[in-house]
Amino acid sequence: MSCAPSLIDAHGRTIRYLRISVTDRCDLRCRYCMAEAMTFLPRSKVLSLEEIALIAERFVARGIDKIRLSGGEPLVRRGVTELCQRLGRMIGGGLSELTMTTNATRLREHAPALADAGIRRINVSLDSLDPEIFRYVTRHGDVAQVLDGIAAARDAGMAIKINMVVLKGLNEDHVGDMLDWCGREGHDLSLIETMPLGAIDEDRTDRFVPLTRVFDTLSDRFTLTRDSHQTGGPARYWRVAEHGNRLGLISPLTANFCAGCNRVRLTTEGKLYLCLGHDDHVDLKDALREGGIAAVDAALDAALPRKPAAHDFRIETGAAPAVARHMSVTGG
């Protein structure tokens, strides 16, 4: 890989973290993420796995040292483990970490290959351990299948962090039990405020829970001490004395984390979004297909000055989503 300038935005932030949505498709339909009747991209419009690899390799040449693969559900895309193998070969050669966010429904099948590719830790989206609540949130999911996938990943040697979106009236009263379960199982837990991305079938205002309130409730049950741990993402961490694991809070609405943002996101159709909460983007698929890697570099140089200082998320009754695209399009 040739040397090229680092990726630094107009606010002086060095971009080191690339999140790639390898597919907008998913085998679940979580209510806060998707509408029940989704229209997914035709395969002709998505990046090939070869194109994803070429773009990722160029990002690493420009200073990206962490890549997270996501979706949708990344493991529903055929050939994704081969992509992981290719990207994993950059670990130690510019890339420090390759990770994945998954719903774990297919982890039993793929965990050994992911570990072999160099993935040492994964994030698993899991909003409830209760089978009925889980089925309701996901519209048809089986929590036992997810727990089996988590066990397979642990057996393959991967560390696991659970991502839990806190939802009023559904799982808010189960957060303490989830933290307790994570501690017993040796997993960290990150709590996430629901974000206004894409049109769904419900009013997000009805489900929004400020994590400040959740943290106060957890503090009555657990001994929580601020932890300096950083993963490159937006979470702020606390150590849980009772188990020794960590609790992370991702609070885009009640505790804005944009000042230290080091991330950009590549969608499955090749659009590079500079911010999760804005629509500004450049099309790296067109750049690659029309002008090769040199055009990708030029597109990146044009994009970075447009990265905003902060998102403009807000939760208000009747307010339109901050952006029209769903989370599954941009990637978690």
The encoded tokens of residue 156 equal 């393959």
Q: Is the pLDDT of residue 231 over 90?
A: no
3 assigned to a ligand binding site: no
Indicate whether 228 belongs to any domain: yes
Q: Quick check: 203 pLDDT over 80?
A: no
The confidence score (pLDDT) of residue 90 equals: 98
Whether residue 12 lies inside any domain: the answer is no
In angstroms, the Cα distances linking 48 to 16, 185, 221, 263 are 23, 37, 48, 22
* Long-range contacts, 322-325 (Cβ 8 Å, 24+): 322/195, 322/196, 322/197, 322/277, 323/197, 323/198, 323/276, 323/277, 323/278, 323/279, 324/198, 324/199, 324/279, 325/197, 325/198, 325/279
Percent of the chain with pLDDT over 90: 70
pLDDT at 11 exceeding the cut of 60: yes
Tokens of 2: 């040739």
| 119 has a pLDDT exceeding 90 | yes
Q: What CATH number does residue 99 fall under? A: 3.20.20.70
| Cα 74–chain centre separation | 11
* Residue 247 counted as domain residue: yes
Position 323 in a domain = yes
125 carries a ligand binding annotation: yes
Residue 179 pLDDT greater than 50, yes or no: yes
**199/201 Cα distance (integer angstroms):** 7
> What gap in Å lies between CA 247 and CA 225, rounded to an integer?
10
Query: Is 121 a known ligand-binding residue?
Result: no
Q: Is 273 annotated as a binding residue?
A: no
Which domain does 37 fall in, by range?
A: 17-330
Number of domains in the chain: 1
290 vs 35, 49, 84, 278, 283, CA distance in Å? 34, 17, 26, 26, 11
Residue 30 annotated as binding site: yes
Confidence class for position 129, pLDDT limits 50, 70, 90: very high
pLDDT above 60: residue 324: no
Decide if 2 is inside a domain.
no
Annotated ligand binding at 19? The verdict is yes
Query: 202 lies in a domain?
Result: yes
The reply to whether 263 sits in an annotated binding site is: yes
Residue 85 pLDDT level (bands cut at 50, 70, 90): very high
Identify whether the C-beta of residue 91 lies closer than 8 Å to the C-beta of residue 42: no
Instruction: Find out whether 66 is annotated in a ligand binding site.
Output: no
Whether 195 is covered by a domain: the verdict is yes
Is 68 among the annotated ligand-binding positions?
Answer: yes
For 150-172, the pLDDT digits (tens) are 999 999 999 999 999 999 999 99
Distance between CA 231 and CA 263 in Å, rounded?
Answer: 12
Confidence at residue 317, expressed as pLDDT on a 0 to 100 scale: 47
Closest by CA position to 235, among listed 246, 215, 224, 251: 251
264-313 pLDDT per residue, tens: 999 999 999 998 767 788 999 999 999 999 999 999 999 988 888 765 55
In a domain, 87, yes or no: yes
Q: Which of 101-115, 190-204, 225-239, 287-301 has the lowest mean pLDDT?
A: 190-204
84 labelled as ligand-binding?
A: no
Strands, sheet with 246-250, edge to edge from the N-terminal-most edge strand: 224-227, 236-240, 246-250, 188-193, 159-166, 121-125, 97-102, 66-70, 17-21, 263-266, 271-273, 281-283
Q: What pLDDT score was predicted for residue 230? A: 79
Q: Is 29 annotated as a binding residue?
A: no
Single out the residue of 250, 310, 312, 249 nearest to residue 274, CA to CA: 310
For Cα atoms 21, 271, 89, give the angle at the middle one, nearest 5 degrees. Answer: 50
